[in-house]
């Protein structure tokens, strides 16, 4: 499952067309614990190179690298179809050249496994070599401790949509909405279709405040604040400070002084409500990324792969 407004959509454009299945990995270790302060990171080994990467909770098994470290590791794209130009508003300048292949990747000194690997000629993460999915770590359970989060609280068990998936799903007003976690997003963000379902259900309202969401370096996309009704939850977690993608024109209409984003009219599908009958595959599928407004209240976030679930320990009562 890939959304045009998440990094996974960019990864899929290169890798899922190969038709090549990675080899089965050996039995995983029981668990790996990482600190998120605020972002979790690990060292990986790919070919003969050791690279520092950030660990993402928000996309399926893959590795995304900046171009320079990929060249340092002497990676080569899959023949013929392993190089493509991808257009997406998340990319600086609106498009980039993606190269991809399957490589054995060992994370945090654990056994290696075959991982779909993409490298991009635009910076995907500044200050570090790339982004690794939590599902590309060869451990049954990956635990993220957040030392700055309040201690105690309650345990929330959240099923994913299936084996190998990182996302959950909710249904609001008959609309299925994909939900994922994003420790790199300061606020929860969603596309227009997801927000419309929540508005129709009386769970949130648009509040006309304008901000910018920065999913990548040199990318800034306008969002409008949403005010949740008291007690509103998503996957059992409280809705705290959500936002919805809007167009550049909508941002200026709401606030003439708002800073311009980097998207163009041709790149704003996720900011426009599209009815179910007119949606194009997953491109307009409703999605929500739960950000740090919620997740910084969680001292422990566990991906339980055998259980196909997330297990979070969060204290939302703390100030």
Query: What are the structural domain ranges in the chain?
Result: 7-144, 154-314
Higher pLDDT, 283 or 164: 164
Percentage of the chain lying above the pLDDT 90 cut: 68
Q: Residue 261: its pLDDT value, please?
A: 82
> Comparing 24-28, 201-205, 210-214, which segment has the lowest mean pLDDT?
24-28
Residue-wise pLDDT tens digits, 150-168: 999 999 999 999 999 999 9
List Cβ neighbours of 141 (8 Å cut-off, separation of 6 or more): 30, 31, 32, 302, 303, 304, 305, 306
List Cβ neighbours of 277 (8 Å cut-off, separation of 6 or more): none
Tell me the fold of 7-144.
Answer: Cathepsin D, subunit A; domain 1 (2.40.70)
CATH code assigned to 154-314: 2.40.70
Is the Cβ–Cβ distance between 281 and 287 less than 8 Å? no
Over residues 239-265, the mean pLDDT reads: 87
- The yes-or-no answer to whether 7-144 and 154-314 have a common fold is yes
**Distances in Å between the alpha carbon of 39 and those of 59, 148, 168, 228?**
15, 12, 21, 27
pTM of the model: 0.88
Over residues 23-32, the mean pLDDT reads: 69
Inform me whether the pLDDT recorded for 27 exceeds 90: no
Tell me what the pLDDT averaged over the chain comes to.
87
Residue-wise pLDDT tens digits, 176-189: 999 999 999 999 99
Over residues 70-96, the mean pLDDT reads: 85
* Alpha carbon distance 62, 18 (integer Å): 14
**Tokens for 202?**
């009386």
Q: Residue 3: its pLDDT value, please?
A: 39
């Amino acid at each position: 499952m890939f959304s045009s407004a998440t990094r996974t959509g960019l990864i899929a454009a290169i890798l899922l067309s190969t038709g090549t299945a990675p080899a089965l990995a050996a039995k995983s270790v029981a668990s790996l614990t990482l600190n998120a302060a605020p972002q979790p990171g690990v060292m990986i080994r790919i070919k003969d190179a050791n690279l520092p990467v950030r660990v993402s909770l928000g996309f399926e098994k893959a590795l995304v690298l900046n171009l320079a470290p990929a060249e340092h590791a002497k990676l080569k794209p899959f023949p013929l179809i392993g190089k493509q130009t991808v257009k997406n508003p998340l990319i600086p300048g609106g498009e980039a050249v993606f190269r991809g292949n399957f490589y054995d990747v060992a994370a945090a000194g654990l056994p290696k496994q075959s991982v779909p690997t993409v490298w991009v000629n635009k910076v995907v993460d500044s200050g570090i070599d790339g982004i690794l999915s939590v599902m590309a770590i060869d451990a049954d359970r990956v635990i993220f401790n957040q030392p700055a989060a309040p201690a105690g609280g309650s345990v929330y068990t959240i099923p994913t949509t299936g084996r190998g998936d990182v996302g959950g799903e909710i249904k609001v007003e008959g609309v299925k909405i994909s939900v994922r976690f994003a420790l790199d997003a300061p606020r929860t963000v969603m596309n227009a279709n997801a927000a419309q379902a929540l508005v129709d259900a009386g769970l949130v309202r648009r509040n006309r405040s304008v901000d910018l969401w920065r999913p990548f370096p040199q990318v800034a996309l306008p969002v409008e604040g949403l005010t949740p009704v008291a007690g509103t939850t998503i996957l059992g977690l409280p809705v705290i400070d959500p936002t919805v993608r809007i167009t550049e024109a909508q941002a200026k209409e709401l606030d003439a002084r708002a800073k311009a984003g980097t998207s163009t009219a041709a790149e704003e599908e996720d900011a426009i409500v599209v009815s179910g009958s007119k949606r194009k595959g997953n491109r307009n599928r409703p999605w929500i990324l739960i950000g740090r407004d919620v997740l910084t209240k969680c001292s422990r976030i566990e991906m339980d792969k055998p259980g196909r679930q997330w297990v979070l320990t969060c204290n939302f009562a703390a100030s």
